[in-house]
Chains A and B, each alone.
Chain A
Amino acid sequence: MEKQWFTISAYSENHIGLLNRISGIFLKRHINIESLNVSKSEIDGVSKFTIVIFSTEDWAIKIVNQIEKQVEVIKAYYHTDDETIYQESALFKVASHLLFDERQIQNIIKEHHSQIVTVSREFFVLAKTGRRHEIDEMHEALEPYGIMQFVRTGRIAVSKDAMPITNILAEFQNK
């Protein structure tokens, strides 16, 4: 089976230790987590893990099953890139003098639709949100001029199909 990118979405209780339990599932199987994001979800008190792996579908299914098996996980899903809307964000810290010395910098900011977050005497910070390759392209464009710091978030994604967590929770309530 061919390897591809999968986005795993897991809805869970917000409990200490669950991240350890979930990351252990990958560790035990020697599968690398390419990107990880944990945030609140659309449901009050429910957290959402968004995990990206490069793997076969067979492994994606097995991992989702193992994640879902954890007591504090409500439900887990996996999706291919085509089945999700996904983005990442990045911050670039660049020396301020470049804004004036290198005309090209301003073009890069415009061409990549990035925002200036802050400007100080020493440095300015650019924010860019988009697909990973778009962020990579901007990184490549800025690199020759020197990037003081760079950081990128994990992927965040929503699925095109519904992930009916509310129904699952309601079903439990009504029991």
Chain B
Amino acid sequence: METLKAKKKDKKKSTAIRITGAEAIIHCLLAEGVDLIYGYPGGAIMPVYDELYKFQDKLTHILTRHEQGATHAAQGYARVSGKVGVAMATSGPGATNLVTGIADAQIDSTPMVCITGQVARHLLGSDAFQETDIVGISTPVTKWNYQITRAEEIPEIMAKAFYIAKSGRPGPVLVDITKNAQFDELDFVYEKCTGVRSYKPAPEPDLSAIEKAAELINTAKKPYIVFGQGVILGEAEEQLKALVEKAGIPAAWTILGLSAMDTDHPLNVGMVGMHGNYGPNVLTNECDVLIAIGMRFDDRVTGNLETYAKQAKVIHFEIDPAEVNKNVKVDVAVLGNAKQTLDLLLPLVNENEHKEWLAEFEKKHKIEFDTLIEKDIYPTKPGLTMGEVIEQINVASGHKAVVVTDVGQHQMIACRYAKFKQTKSNITSGGLGTMGFALPAAIGAKMGAMDREVVAIIGDGGYQMTIQELGVIFQHNLPVKIVVLNNDHLGMVRQWQELFFDRRYASTVMTNPDFVKIAEGYHIKSRRVVERSELKDAVEEMMASKDPYFLEVRVEKEDNVFPMVPTGASISDIRLK
């Protein structure tokens, strides 16, 4: 493969090899360091699958049981490894089934390349069998997309796709390839993309903005950091820790920022947002300088913008200029990659500590602990809580596991209580809130970090949206640990119905199948926990298993997640019960 890489243009003729478009796609993937892709074959992508068969010693293809699973698996893989995830599907329904995962990757900035087959060029626009305008459909949810209709376009477009997906603020790219372009031959030479003239991945750091930020931080009495996934994507975890420690600033995280900093770090004060911690929410409205790092002031984080951090000077470290002043007006915008900008900031920041200010967080934490955390994770009344399951997993995993969550109550509880020592360990669908994300994402996460324990925590609703991916876990004997927290309800929607719709439980009660039997059908070791007395042993057994393991925990049917900032309310009005 080396001979194909990075040849100068003038040598093109001499080093080119004559191959089909389909084979060229494989060479492009190999040249980009891809050794694993997720997908599902079908008519319009068959020439590429034929090549995958020939190259299976170099490139592993995992057949998910639905194309949506392929995207989430690619996302899970990308999120734990930092590499670009690749998903492949055929035209028409294959392509449209990718859309949810693409939208999820777009809103959560996950680097992913999706390759779809398309009907032959001469059939485009004729409503041919399995023809759909996937470029048109995916435009609003991709960072970039392109339809290849000639084999010669393949190397340049594939190189560009990987470059765009990974650089700057990452995101999904879709490349649609007509069948004729797969069959036709081209003179293949691969050159990695190093730049696109109309695209600036990251702004150059502006020193004057960094100086202004340092000045605000140095004079602040109650500085407060809220960090997001930008820290992880920018690989700025060390810089964040150094800043927090040097300036003695309490730091909270968004759910996508979770695991960028050790959850047990004394200056890690917890989670912001709708179901975040009490102190981190309320004290956002009491800090004097708010330092947002790699986060985008999502509405689930800010609550009512009219009452969000109005008293504070706001500094925003951000790679995407379009995020600055989008939701929250900032006083200082520090554009650029977080690692670079924080590195420049660090020498300008004075050593400091803010003991009284930090004590405020501790005080609030005590209130939250006494009111609800204790009951969540060390309950004494009958009925298992989601919180105690997470706590048990923490104990058994030693805070070292990758935790993959779906969407809903279990997700909020897991994000609130899961403990992490290592970055890139919390994989969840944040922005899009895609139910069905966790099981396939856990497959990708495991394959992206084979040396790590991967625990998927899923609700009974979301589990049934992509339950067929158990087939992948079984077929490849992937030692993923699956925990379904079963309350026989769509718990989060039910909670809202209870609180805001006078307990009218419209379509949120579920009659569930025997999940243990289903897992057994896939020959996955499984166990059901109904009593608290069984929990510790079951979790330990699961974590000790060298094989995939399914654990169903029957939790309280009508528990609610608190604290909670009701939609449209101020974060100061967070409800503890």
- In the assembled complex, the Cα of A65 lies from the Cα of B321 at a distance in Å of 7
Q: Smallest distance from the beta carbon of A22 to chain B beta carbons, Å?
A: 10
**Are the C-beta atoms of A71 and B322 separated by less than 8 Å?**
no
Most B CB contacts (10 A, CB to CB) among A28, A69, A172, A175 go to A69
Find chain B residues with CB under 8 A from A62 CB: 322, 325-326
Q: Mark B478-492, 1 if CB is under 8 A from A, else 0.
A: 000000000000000
Find chain B residues with CB under 8 A from A66 CB: 322
Tell me if B139 counts as interface (CB < 8 A to partner A): yes
Tell me if A72 counts as interface (CB < 8 A to partner B): yes
* Main SS class of interface, B: mixed
**Are the C-beta atoms of A172 and B140 separated by less than 8 Å?**
no
Tell me if B513 counts as interface (CB < 8 A to partner A): no
Tell me if A51 counts as interface (CB < 8 A to partner B): no
Tell me if A113 counts as interface (CB < 8 A to partner B): no
Q: Mark A48-78, 1 if CB is under 8 A from B, else 0.
A: 0000000000000110011011011110000
- In the assembled complex, the Cα of A46 lies from the Cα of B136 at a distance in Å of 22
Find chain A residues with CB under 8 A from B322 CB: 62, 65-66, 68-69
**Are the C-beta atoms of B199 and A72 separated by less than 8 Å?**
yes
- In the assembled complex, the Cα of A169 lies from the Cα of B143 at a distance in Å of 21
Tell me if B196 counts as interface (CB < 8 A to partner A): yes
- In the assembled complex, the Cα of A62 lies from the Cα of B324 at a distance in Å of 9
Q: Smallest distance from the beta carbon of A166 to chain B beta carbons, Å?
A: 12
Given A62-B326, A66-B322: A12 in contact with B198 (beta carbons within 8 A):
yes
* Main SS class of interface, A: helix
Tell me if A24 counts as interface (CB < 8 A to partner B): yes
**Are the C-beta atoms of A71 and B143 separated by less than 8 Å?**
yes
**Are the C-beta atoms of B321 and A68 separated by less than 8 Å?**
yes
**The one of B136, B144, B326 that contacts A71, using a Cβ cutoff of 8 Å:** B144
- In the assembled complex, the Cα of A146 lies from the Cα of B431 at a distance in Å of 55
Given A65-B321, A69-B321, A172-B195: A17 in contact with B326 (beta carbons within 8 A):
no
**The one of A24, A73, A175 that contacts B139, using a Cβ cutoff of 8 Å:** A24
- In the assembled complex, the Cα of A27 lies from the Cα of B197 at a distance in Å of 27
Tell me if B151 counts as interface (CB < 8 A to partner A): no
Tell me if B145 counts as interface (CB < 8 A to partner A): yes
What is the number of residues of chain B that contact chain A, defined by CB distance less than 8 Å? 21
**Are the C-beta atoms of A24 and B140 separated by less than 8 Å?**
yes
**Are the C-beta atoms of A17 and B145 separated by less than 8 Å?**
yes
Tell me if B243 counts as interface (CB < 8 A to partner A): no
Tell me if B164 counts as interface (CB < 8 A to partner A): yes
- In the assembled complex, the Cα of A15 lies from the Cα of B320 at a distance in Å of 23
Given A62-B326, A71-B144: A21 in contact with B321 (beta carbons within 8 A):
no
Find chain A residues with CB under 8 A from B197 CB: 74, 169, 172-173
Find chain A residues with CB under 8 A from B144 CB: 71-72
**Are the C-beta atoms of B199 and A71 separated by less than 8 Å?**
yes
**The one of A27, A69, A175 that contacts B195, using a Cβ cutoff of 8 Å:** A175
Tell me if A13 counts as interface (CB < 8 A to partner B): yes
Q: Smallest distance from the beta carbon of B289 to chain A beta carbons, Å?
A: 24
- In the assembled complex, the Cα of A162 lies from the Cα of B106 at a distance in Å of 34
Find chain A residues with CB under 8 A from B320 CB: 69
**Are the C-beta atoms of B135 and A17 separated by less than 8 Å?**
yes
* Chain A residue at minimum C-beta to C-beta distance from B322: A65
Find chain B residues with CB under 8 A from A17 CB: 135-136, 139, 145-147
Find chain A residues with CB under 8 A from B199 CB: 71-72
- In the assembled complex, the Cα of A21 lies from the Cα of B164 at a distance in Å of 16
**Are the C-beta atoms of A28 and B139 separated by less than 8 Å?**
no
Tell me if A20 counts as interface (CB < 8 A to partner B): yes
Find chain A residues with CB under 8 A from B139 CB: 17, 20-21, 24
**Are the C-beta atoms of A72 and B198 separated by less than 8 Å?**
yes
- In the assembled complex, the Cα of A3 lies from the Cα of B195 at a distance in Å of 38
Find chain B residues with CB under 8 A from A68 CB: 321-322
Q: Which residues of A are interface residues toward B (Cβ below 8 A)?
A: 12-13, 16-17, 20-21, 24, 27-28, 61-62, 65-66, 68-69, 71-74, 169, 172-173, 175
Report the 4 A-B pairs with minimum CB-CB distance, sorted nearest first. A65-B322, A172-B197, A74-B198, A71-B144
Q: A74-B198, A173-B197 are in contact. List 15 more A-B contacts (CB 8 A).
A: A20-B136, A21-B139, A28-B140, A61-B325, A62-B325, A68-B322, A69-B320, A71-B164, A72-B144, A72-B198, A72-B199, A73-B198, A74-B197, A169-B197, A175-B195
Instruction: Please name 9 pairs of A and B residues whose Cβ atoms are closer than 8 Å in the assembled complex, sorted by A.
Output: A17-B135, A17-B136, A20-B136, A61-B325, A68-B321, A69-B322, A71-B144, A71-B196, A172-B195
